[in-house]
A and B are shown apart, each in its own frame.
Chain A
């Protein structure tokens, strides 16, 4: 990659070598029409409308790479003719039902048809019956579909579900005359379009995916729409509220789209959530879980006074990390002023992990983010249920695999068919719980720079290696010479006669061979496949950039401190860049802002959790609080960014700032605290109103600001403790604290469109081999406690470990677990 200059329509622009011309043009505000191309995805070449002339030759801007000195013309007479013909073709048989179409007003077919001035039609083909499909949360109307394949591309390249594909349309062939008389590209595009529609990869008409709805969002027409939004509102009636999603730590850019509830009820209602889909992809929870606001709350002075009394009485504040940075700062100020103990176990373990990591790495924060991860080409994930802990981390992983020709390793005890199916260049290692340390040692062993690593560690790693002799069968090609009789014409006599000809052939032959190979005991400890070394060698070809993504299994590991130190060593002595998935929405922010305590006192105030006096945004506490979609403030994301969010739905009650003011702090609004966020921890001294919230045309994120990664003096003591091989859990009767797809917390549980059932999730395979059936009520008992739950069959996990979700507080799943996310439990039918 080097900086080059190209010329588009007489304008000199600077870009990187190899950038697609379309992206270079867009980054420099030069307009080239394009329908099927999605930024961050591989070019589809379905619409062909991005046709440009490069040095006198026609090329597609979406897949032609920039070279130094290129001269590009975006519009010539011929290109204009092609574009006009392409748009005419798209309008062939397109129903004239814009009046009822949900996309009307933001439809790219409408826009381009008008822009290219298509006022008459020259082409025609007989249409076939194309009935619409009900795919659960999606509705697909092939009659409106222009088969740009953007949904297919997004599902494959961004999301990784590979649920959609093109299937045969069964239409009549095009009139043969068109081939000669039509512009060439328009004909080729039409010929392909006329043969396909969108269908499901599984061959049925039942969609089974992670239900993110990104396909419907990228659809340029009204073919794929969200069922729950259908015919409720027109695009132009909705008011956009720029916000940050409050469900997980990815901190995705979203905009809540609001309008009056109905003619009778003028209160605002969120109709849908949209995103800048060229630069950010949402998960199902972000897309459909928007109505979790605390409704119909009024200011009740008596309740407020009770709260103030409770605060005066209390010595502890318990809270979760689904709060804004400003609220976290208010809690910290209250602690400083009144000496409250702040209790937040999940943030505490992340904070401790970060601190232990920082003592060796020399930086307070991890080095990388999801964007860098998506752009790297070798990714390792350890200790994270990637699909559900942070869907965007999975998208980044998948994006690297599909678009960057990347490869990766996925270390997790619960094997995940969704992760496995992202690419064939991903290898899952289902180790036993508590073996995350071994996985980290393995990474250090495989990728660490042995020359720089402390000698103790090098020796320790070497102790796992031995050589062994194995017999391998190799296929080699052998030269075999045969004598073949052939009939040949004798030129002299004119007769055919038999001639013997020598012919040599290469024949494959299997040979058994004894070879000495290196035996890595770390691999057998982890239970990696025999072919691991061989596959890894293939995976590592042409790989330059490495990312390591870590999850909550490590922060809550009994040896979390050692894990953190190993992670720091990996970063220091290998090419890996680190991303850590903060456990909840604002865990990173809380861990930076708050000084957290270990032990609670006698009387506790609980914010969105259980305690003696509860403040709750869920509407079930002693005093109501606003939910994230009713608040102004900032959230710190996994990308180390402080993202602003705004009020989508009005809130009529008291908030934390009112309580703080009554207790003696004085700020008019919660957002007055934004500027006061601790600069010593990397926050910037910026007021809320000065924070930007947009993406530039080149895809640069201009939301809030990035935290400064403040350097810290690294400790010279690089000792790490050795692996305790006895430390592992047998894969029997294990339960794991993780949520199903689209659920994160009690807030997603409250959203009406997210209807996942709560219970104990078991893989289909496990259920088939046990006496249990889906729907059975079971008693789950661990050493920490017991709960009763309903069995739910989950085809998005495999293996013997059952998942217990945390999104439903009625289940009280946390009672079963200790510090670690895995626990042994007995499961009995009730």
Chain B
């Protein structure tokens, strides 16, 4: 294999350019003169003047967090949510355990049991947010679009271990009544035109 392709480091053709940086002084005298020059040119006051000018103009672009918050994109991967079915408000999670299996930081755990209708029921579900790296695998693997990421990124806690439980993640029923549950558009969501790539199973009905 020839290395020429790797030797060409001229990336300017793609719109990049090299920043014009002065040569770094090599001997003691040159270093000394640079220090003297910088000290007496009062460069510091140039910066201070900019700050003062902007302050007096009262036209500030800083976001006043936590009083103000940035809008979060629909694909942002913050604290998990558990969605409900639109039709019945029932929990979407079927307790298949795939998220628990795929989780690379091993922070998901669930307990399942048989319910009174002989169906599989998730009796408890936790995520240790202190361990979670918000990779999105759980949302991607979920066959029911049940576990998704939400926009809530404020999850500071006093301890390293920080759990959220099932009821804390489920969409509140008032939200279902209002119809304000939001579908997640990020990892694991159905992409447009997905049905075109599905082979249909013949049925005798």
Q: Which residues of chain A have a CB within 8 Å of any CB of chain B?
A: 98-100, 104, 119-126, 132, 172, 175, 230-234, 236-237, 260, 262-264
Contacts and interface: CB of A to CB of B under 8 A. Distances in A.
A261 to B, nearest CB: 9
B203 A104 contact: no
Interface in B118-171: 118-121, 124, 126, 143-144
A231 B202 contact: no
Lowest 3 A-B CB distances belong to which pairs? A99-B96, A100-B120, A231-B120
Interface in B78-124: 94-98, 100-101, 109-114, 118-121, 124
Given A121-B201, A124-B203, A237-B100, A231 B124 contact: no
A264 B111 CA distance: 10
Contact of A124 (B111, B118, B204): B204
Interface residues of B, number: 27
Given A100-B95, A263-B109, A231 B114 contact: yes
A260 B106 CA distance: 14
B205 interface: yes
Nearest to B122: A231
Given A121-B199, A232-B113, 13 more contacts: A99-B143, A100-B96, A123-B202, A124-B201, A124-B203, A124-B204, A231-B95, A231-B113, A231-B121, A232-B114, A262-B111, A263-B110, A263-B111
Nearest to A132: B118
A233 B111 CA distance: 8
A99 B119 CA distance: 12
A263 B118 CA distance: 22
B119 A100 contact: yes
A100 B94 contact: yes
A231 B204 contact: no
Nearest to B202: A124
A123 B205 CA distance: 13
Contacts of B199: 119-121
B202 A122 contact: yes
Q: Is the interface of A mostly helix, strand, loop or mixed?
A: loop
Given A99-B94, A263-B111, A125 B119 contact: no
Given A124-B202, A124-B203, A104 B96 contact: yes
A260 B126 CA distance: 14
A126 B203 CA distance: 7
Contacts of A100: 94-96, 119-120
A132 B126 CA distance: 32
Nearest to B110: A263
A696 B203 CA distance: 44
B127 to A, nearest CB: 11
Nearest to A120: B199
B201 A232 contact: no
Contacts of A236: 97, 101
Interface string B3-47: 000000000000000000000000000000000000000000000
Contacts of A123: 202
A522 to B, nearest CB: 57
A732 B162 CA distance: 71
A263 B161 CA distance: 14
17 contacts: A100-B95, A104-B96, A121-B201, A123-B202, A124-B201, A124-B202, A124-B204, A230-B114, A231-B112, A231-B114, A231-B121, A232-B112, A232-B114, A233-B112, A236-B97, A237-B100, A262-B111
Listed residue (B95, B114, B119, B124) with the most chain A CB atoms within 10 angstroms of its CB: B114
A140 to B, nearest CB: 12
A327 B111 CA distance: 38
Nearest to A260: B109
A120 B201 CA distance: 7
A121 B202 contact: yes
Contacts of A232: 112-114
A168 to B, nearest CB: 20
A461 to B, nearest CB: 62
A126 B120 CA distance: 27
B97 A262 contact: no
Given A100-B96, A126-B204, A236-B101, A262 B124 contact: yes
B118 A126 contact: no
A176 to B, nearest CB: 13
A126 B202 contact: no
A126 B94 contact: no
B202 A99 contact: no
B47 to A, nearest CB: 55
B191 to A, nearest CB: 19
Contacts of B97: 234, 236-237
Contacts of B120: 100, 231
Given A231-B113, A232-B112, A263-B126, A99 B204 contact: no
Interface in B176-205: 199, 201-205
Nearest to B109: A263
Listed residue (A119, A124, A175) with the most chain B CB atoms within 10 angstroms of its CB: A124
Nearest to A122: B202
Contacts of B100: 237
B121 A99 contact: no
A260 B110 CA distance: 11
A15 to B, nearest CB: 40
A236 B100 CA distance: 11
Contacts of B126: 263
A130 to B, nearest CB: 15
A652 B201 CA distance: 56
B98 A99 contact: yes
Contact of B204 (A125, A262, A264): A125
A427 B126 CA distance: 60
B174 to A, nearest CB: 27
A231 B143 CA distance: 18
Contacts of A121: 199, 201-202
Listed residue (A104, A126, A237, A263) with the most chain B CB atoms within 10 angstroms of its CB: A263
A231 B115 CA distance: 9
A123 B201 CA distance: 9
B10 to A, nearest CB: 48
A260 B111 CA distance: 10
B102 to A, nearest CB: 11
A342 to B, nearest CB: 47
B205 to A, nearest CB: 7
Contacts of B96: 98-100, 104, 234
Nearest to A266: B109
Nearest to A102: B120
A715 B95 CA distance: 68
A41 B202 CA distance: 37
Contacts of B204: 124-126, 172, 175
Contacts of B101: 234, 236-237
Contacts of A98: 96
B109 A99 contact: no
Contacts of A263: 109-111, 124, 126
Contacts of B205: 126
